[in-house]
Structure 1
Amino acid sequence: MYVTAATAAAAAAGAAAAAAPASTSAYAAAAAAAATACASATSPYVAARAAAAAAAAESANAAAPKPTTARTAAAAAAGVSTTTAAAAAAAASATAAAAAAAAAAAVAAAAAAAAAATNRGDSFFLILLVHAALLLQQAQQHQNQQQPVQQQQQQYQQQQQQQQQQ
């Protein structure tokens, strides 16, 4: 009973964290809830599952597209300078890198929990850990794919602004 309730609480907190952008307080609250679920678990097995749910939420959040591209385009349309647009894109990249680092930290925490769980022979948790690692890899690939797109958008915005000035 306790294992099911703690796992459900961790999964709900993880889902809330995955649904909120990393820059919002809702994300911070959801991540804190996931961490609390991990800390409140009384057995290593429950803690390991909660850590895996938190790691999966971090990875999913890192992989989710962020609204920064739309904001950058809106700023360019409003006549904001190219320097400001480039700074916004750099901030978006930094945010994505920070999210990927947070996901990596969560997977590292899950790996530490996996070491404890492995001593008890928990193969189910190892499957969850591999899944979390795959999610992290997908998030990093998504980030690597977004950087060239952002650069192309910046170049397009600069061309548009130059044409408007002429």
Structure 2
Amino acid sequence: MPFDNESMELTFDYEADPALLDSYNQLYGTNYELLPECYTTPELKIKAGEVSGTAEMEVDPVQLAGETGYDLEGKSYMLPIRITGCDNPSVKIQAGAVTYVKVATKAKWTGTWTETILEGESGISTTAGSVLSVKLYTRHAVIANAVGDENCQNMMSGWILDDEAI
């Protein structure tokens, strides 16, 4: 039977439990990495009369990327969290209950750039009315994933110095 929470606000304590990630990955055939300590853990409160609450964890993308500016495109992190206590001792905490927080990353520049070729445009080997679609990548993604031929790789390494969209 759920706890009767008609008249009081409840505050819960919770903590990350990194030891659970390996067993999760084995059980579900996944390869999540443990979310590094670059997040905030706000209070979890349940208001009087309610049966659930939300704690919005914030992840610092600069800390997650590290000082090197490592491209995080496509990386998936997970953080197992368990409730450890409540400010009201009559509230029973379910043993073994875990919430798995998934953090999936994207590059700064994601998506596809689409342009329709107009009559009289030159320099592009297509006909007027054609639609040109170009994938957007960061410089780091091109270099790290060897996108393009040797000339493209040399160009990325040599004269594009910031992580603008290419």
Q: Shared fold (TM-score greater than 0.5)?
A: no
Higher helix share: 1
Q: More relative contact order in 1 or in 2 (CA 8 Å, sep 6+)?
A: 1
TM-score by length of 1: 0.26
TM-score by length of 2: 0.26
Higher strand share: 2
Larger radius of gyration: 2
